[in-house]
Structure 1
Amino acid sequence: MDKVLTVSVAAYNLENLIEQNLHSFEKCKNIDLLEVIVTDDGSTDHTAEIVSKYVQKYPGTFKLIKQKNSGAGSTVNSGIRHATGKYFKMIDGDDWVESENLDKLLENLYKIDTDIIITNYEVYDETISKVIEYKNFRGKLQEGKIIDFSKACNDVQFAMHQVTYRTSILKNNNIVLDNGFYTDVEYLLLPVQYLKTLIYYDLNIYVYRVGRNGQSVSLESLQKHIDMHDLVFKRLLNEYERIKNNLSNEKRNFILKRLTDMAYYQLRTLMSFEMTDNNIQTIKDFVNYIKNNSPEINERFSQIKKVKLLLKSNYHLIGFVSKQFRKEIN
């Protein structure tokens, strides 16, 4: 049977969590429509052994790709390269799916033909073992109707957890992410120029785990990987400048909003460090980079309250603004 959906699972040292992920696919009634590609990014624990058991039990569904440790983005690239399903979705190995709802989605995917599918996701807090938030587009997107992608751009900003692409969009246009962290925004933005149609299903599919030590959203991790976030941001900014004249106004605004958010998060992380002379110069260099390379992003970025205060004071209030950023992170 042809595969309707390829799910790319990123796994690195997840021996205590990966089974919950894999079991959520195993429980699907329509498992024969699924292709689950687990890319083990050089794990040093028993992650690969656990995945191998699922490969042996369901050889038509589960696949294990082993590679040297190369970073989160490389696992998505691996999934895209090996994907055979009509549609493609990515999921982190410490997260999982709602099996019954995935079954419903698979039944729909079997019938439709569109470039991108948007679904809901849940936020699960590890510290209290409870779902704390439900993310959906009820009232913003009409369910079950294929629409022009550009028409949805003004109404929504979706997350990686909500997106399923037509696989050929990724393969035929050579969508390749950087290898490290924070490549989820690349995954969201690089395909935008090729997207024509969208459909929304009001189904909670992805369960996103938060509160786990070492996650990329923690302050420690943000500071540790700040150079990677900077690299991804600048790559996407340069790509936008290259293609912007070929985009609809709606697509341009969609990308600009996300890039402005990225610029803000980068500045926020820079401001979380001690305000030494070197760090202050790094902040100034980053702000000037935006000003010199993207007037559109700079226009939006400079109007953000904290950024505006920083610029209007000619950085004299940098200590005060830094404290405000730290409060926001904490």
Structure 2
Amino acid sequence: MGGKFLISLDFELHWGVFDALSLETYQKNLENVRTVIERLIKLSDSYNIKLTFSTVGLLFAENKGDIKKFMPSKIPNYNNKELNPFRLINSIGETEKEDPIHYAKSIISAINKNHNHEIGTHTFAHYNCLASGQDIIDFTHDLTAAINIAKSMDIDIKSIVFPKNQIKQDYLEVCKRNGITSFRGTEEHFLYNPSIKTKNFLFIKFHRPFRFLDGYINISGHNTYSLDSLLDRSGLINLPSSRFLRPFIPRLSCLEFLKRERIKKAMQYAAIKGELFHLWWHPHNFGSNMDANFKNLEIIFKEYKNLNKKFGFESITMTGLTNQIKTRQYSN
């Protein structure tokens, strides 16, 4: 089996940033997500690239009544009350037309009808698995709600991307019991370990600048993965991230070449070695400086096309690759 090119997108709109970014500073990015996804699908299809949209369950709702209908019967009692998205319910609009940063059923429907891409879950309510105050029972209710609201659109959820990349081993077993077959793990380098980040003061203080630099120069390695090493002890297929595609920053435009080269070299390594390269970002990251971000992305897609022709490097969704790996395991 040749190398694989996987792209997963954390599709969350305001539900993913309400606890970190104010609408005063970030609303334009969120409002532009519809245009971003339209352009993204068009560009991806032109290069025969498949995407996995890991989608917050709340976005499937058609209106506030849907939210209340599918809402988990037990919600996490986070110690940090700012993490609770349900406190926003009374203040949001009634429908997608009225409030396009909290609903996205029409976008999800368009993605689903395209048939080239996958819709996975980003949990129902952007669940924080490592936060104090929640437990595995809360997570089970949240995941069940995410699966059920997707089923209302005839979408069968098979993959998960955990919000903020917060993963717990016993929660993976809950995923497996509920029909999930794959998840996006974190890079193996300690810089990307969210458990350390939540416990170690020095890591909290210094990890961000080193991770930022790692986007431009090779600190943590290529972060590509042998396809034979992806089975997690939970029984799920772990498809770890390789690189976060950082959005364009105008004042650092002189570094964009380095960012692209960092990604392209890792893609080349994966293609030659027959390994997985997994790129990810949030659609709202492209909500400002949109043309510059899409220029970078098309350069990456052109590199994919070259590697596809030269080495058979294949674009694939999370569940598509999971099925290939499982078929290969059964045939050996």
TM-score (structure 1 length as normaliser): 0.29
Q: Where is the strand percentage greater, Structure 1 or Structure 2? A: 1
Q: Which has the higher contact order (CA 8 A, sep 6+)?
A: 2
- Report which of the two structures shows the higher radius of gyration computed on alpha carbons: 1
